[in-house]
Each structure stands twice: as C-alpha cells, then as structure tokens.
Amino acid sequence: MKFTTIPTMVALCLPFATAKVCLSQSDVTTLSTHFGDLVSGYTQKLANQTLTTNFMDYSESINTLIDSAGTTPNALLGLTFTSRANFETLSAAQPSVPFQVQNTWYNCDTITIRWLSTQSPQPVVGISVLQTVYRPRQGNATNFKINEVWAEFDSAAWLIDSGFTVTPPASNREKREVTFEA
C-alpha cells in the first residue's frame, strides 16, 4: 500500500515544490537602480546587497577594456568576473562613470537593461542581461540578488573616452583594422 501512495503524494506535492517566486516591477526597479549605482558609484555594502557571493559576469566588451583592446590578460570570450570579491577588486579600482537606465524588460527571473553612459567625448550605450535568484532576507528592498550578468556595449567608444586614440587604415584596400594607442 505504502509503495503506491508515496508516488501519489509526491505527484500531489510537486506543483507546490516547484512553485517559483517571480520578479515584480518593484524588484526590477530596485535591482536596475542598484546595478547602475554599482557602475556609477561602487560601494561594497551595495555590492553585498545586490550581488550573490558567487556572482559571475560575462562580457567581451569589458574583457577588451581590461586588455586595452589587445587579447591579454583576459581571454576575450572568457569569464570577466569570477566572483563578487573579484568584481569588487576590479570595480573599486575603476573611476566612476555616469550610468542611466533607459529601458528594462523582465520575465520571472531575468532582467534586460538598455543603458546609456554619457561619457565624453563619446556616449556609450549597452545592453546588460541580469539573471537573478530568490534570496529573501530581512530589511530587504528586494528579495532577489543578481547571480549572473551578460553585457555588451560600445567598447571602442569607451576606450576613446579612456584616452585611447584610433588610427584608421591609410586606405580602404588595407586590412580593415583599428589600432588603439594609449
């Protein structure tokens, strides 16, 4: 008897066990604002509130910036930040930049942000996809944290804003490569 009733009970419980809490508009607004604040004015307290400890960030654009348009030390297609601590070390060393959220779209656990960084002389726009996880806690503005980010943006403009100059090829027949010089 037991052997037939246990699977039945498991089946009955399954919808409850898999019920998932989804992001609300308020969670999306809070996380998008905090994500922007980490770029424009990084603090460890905000990083702790916003990112999971095993936070990962994938971005060829950021790898290119770290590599000064070369291919080392960061592999271009590799993981950009391997943890929150690694993100903190690199972010704390970076000058703050303006960051405005232009649009957000979301589903149950993922937020897509279109953003503008009004740097000079070149504006930079980008898209960041934030994968979140449910982490309820007391005194929380949101019960979600960012666990993974996939982001790409105009890193050529960002390099120019960082003081790099671009040397175009002398003619169209030459190899179409762009040389960045510090």
Contact residues toward ligand NAG (CB under 6 A) are 44-45, 48, 53, 136, 138-140, 143
Minimum CB separation from ligand NAG for residue 71, in Å?
32
Minimum CB separation from ligand NAG for residue 129, in Å?
24
Residue 20 or residue 45: which is nearer to ligand NAG going by CB? 45
Contact 31, 133 (CB under 8 A): no
Residues 6+ apart with CB under 8 A from 145: 49, 50, 51, 52, 132, 133, 135
Rounded CA-CA distance 163/166 in Å is: 10
Minimum CB separation from ligand NAG for residue 144, in Å?
10
Residue 27 or residue 60: which is nearer to ligand NAG going by CB? 27
Could you tell me which of 92, 110, 111 has the C-alpha nearest to residue 39?
92
Residue 21 or residue 178: which is nearer to ligand NAG going by CB? 21
